[in-house]
Amino acid sequence: MSDHSFVRTEMLDSQAPPMMEGSVLGWIRYNLFSGPLNSLLTILSGLLVVYLLASILPWVFLSSWTATSLRECREVIPLTYGEGTTGACWAVIRERYLQLFYGFYPKELYWRVNLTFVLMLIALAPILFPKLPRQMLYFSGVYPFLGYWLLWGGTIWTPFLTLAGLIVGYLVFNFLNERRGLLIGTIVGTLLIIFWFLLGVIPVAVFLSENVTPLAIEIVESEQFGGFTLSVIIGATGIAASLPIGILLALGRKSDLLIVKSLCVGFIEFIRGVPLITLLFVASTLLNYFLPPGTNFDIILRVVIMVTLFASAYMAEVIRGGLAALPKGQYEAGDALGLDYWKSMRLIVLPQALKISIPGIVSTFIGLFKDTTLVSIIGLLDPIGLSRAIRSDTAWNGIVWELYAFVAAVFFVFCFAMSRYSIYLEKKLETGHR
């Protein structure tokens, strides 16, 4: 037998890992003090954190919640906490938080905003968590119309007829799609809906509310909307609308049909090449020149449309990234099984492409939600616009940090929630490939 030959007679059992692994001390040593450079960085960052907290925390906590003006704050704080203390004047938040949340929405109607918000959470639940009963999605479908009615008031016939028009249009599309083909179905269905919206909804709603029953609640004008209510309205509508539009644009951009493709590319490149502020100015001023005189095109609606278009262009590019990341074999397998374009997109390509794009999509959502503060520039009273209004009150003239800190904190809660949800979703959709 030569020296190189070897035969194992029994297989080794697996053994417990060395002690360091899994203990707290081991973790600290491994992660924080694994070498001289790492130790030094750990100590320096620790000092930086301590320094920052030591500067910020006193300002946050040595503060006044009860004063009625900035001047009073500046007198009270040194008296309570000792000479030379400069703390935050949170009293402004206590006094104005309702305004920051609801804008100039009538006080006695706050319940409508609250109800709309709670219903929004209920409508979102089945979309966010697939474990909930699927029947809840019907409510999610009705919610935009219900929410609109609750917030703006007026007769319920308008949103009802709008919804009915969409449903009828869809049924017509379905009917024609099976008998006359996709193209005719789409064209007739879309035209029907557009004509109904432009010419049918308002007259019929007026007729029904005058002759049958009004079913109306008190009207609130768009000018009275403001604060976080406004941010959430613009943000949520923009988010809900930009995802489907973005998907269509991304598919259009990858399409073989030259005209569809050029239109999508043109739209995406144009919108991405223009600052959102310009689009908002167009919405607030220029658009009126193009519309027939006397048309009342709601300012919030105009802004929502602009924000949605802006976000959907970015969304399209994010999703296109996801589409490009899919191996060609997935498309081919779908084709080889005889699935047509839309089925293969819906069942095979999009579920995977969207999953890959989740971080980008949620980033776009968060960006869109934060961009809603830009509407303050065209005079809408979102939280930032309101802060400016509050500052112009003589009692609070000169207050800056407290308002912005509060607005930032509330925005952070929303955005952080979205970010956490996206991580949860990514984990949930992980099926062990790649």
Q: Is residue 263 part of the contact set for other proteins (CB under 8 A)?
A: no
Q: Is residue 14 part of the contact set for other proteins (CB under 8 A)?
A: no
Q: Is residue 340 part of the contact set for other proteins (CB under 8 A)?
A: yes
Q: Are 284 and 299 in contact (CB under 8 A)?
A: yes
Nearest to other proteins of 94, 346 (CB atom) = 346
Among 127, 347, 400, 408, interactor with other proteins by CB under 8 A: 347
Q: Is residue 107 part of the contact set for other proteins (CB under 8 A)?
A: no
Q: Is residue 330 part of the contact set for other proteins (CB under 8 A)?
A: yes
Q: Cβ of residue 212: shortest distance to other proteins, in angstroms?
A: 43
Q: Is residue 348 part of the contact set for other proteins (CB under 8 A)?
A: yes
Q: Is residue 329 part of the contact set for other proteins (CB under 8 A)?
A: yes
Among 202, 337, 409, 423, interactor with other proteins by CB under 8 A: 337
How many Cβ atoms are within 10 Å of 382's Cβ, its own excluded?
28
Q: Cβ of residue 324: shortest distance to other proteins, in angstroms?
A: 17
Q: Cβ of residue 13: shortest distance to other proteins, in angstroms?
A: 24
Nearest to other proteins of 354, 381 (CB atom) = 354
Q: Cβ of residue 345: shortest distance to other proteins, in angstroms?
A: 12
Q: Is residue 333 part of the contact set for other proteins (CB under 8 A)?
A: yes
Q: Cβ of residue 429: shortest distance to other proteins, in angstroms?
A: 7
Q: Is residue 361 part of the contact set for other proteins (CB under 8 A)?
A: no
Nearest to other proteins of 8, 433 (CB atom) = 433
Q: Is residue 388 part of the contact set for other proteins (CB under 8 A)?
A: no
Nearest to other proteins of 223, 332 (CB atom) = 332
Q: Select from 350, 349, 321 the least CA-distant residue to 333.
A: 349
Q: Cβ of residue 262: shortest distance to other proteins, in angstroms?
A: 22
Q: Is residue 183 part of the contact set for other proteins (CB under 8 A)?
A: no
Among 64, 352, 357, 372, interactor with other proteins by CB under 8 A: 352
Q: Is the dihedral of CA 93, 98, 102, 105 positive or negative?
A: negative
Among 109, 192, 245, 339, interactor with other proteins by CB under 8 A: 339
Size of the site for other proteins (CB under 8 A): 22
Q: Cβ of residue 140: shortest distance to other proteins, in angstroms?
A: 23
Q: Is residue 355 part of the contact set for other proteins (CB under 8 A)?
A: yes
**Which residues of the chain form contacts with other proteins (CB under 8 A)?**
327, 329-330, 332-333, 335-340, 343, 347-348, 351-352, 355, 429, 431-434
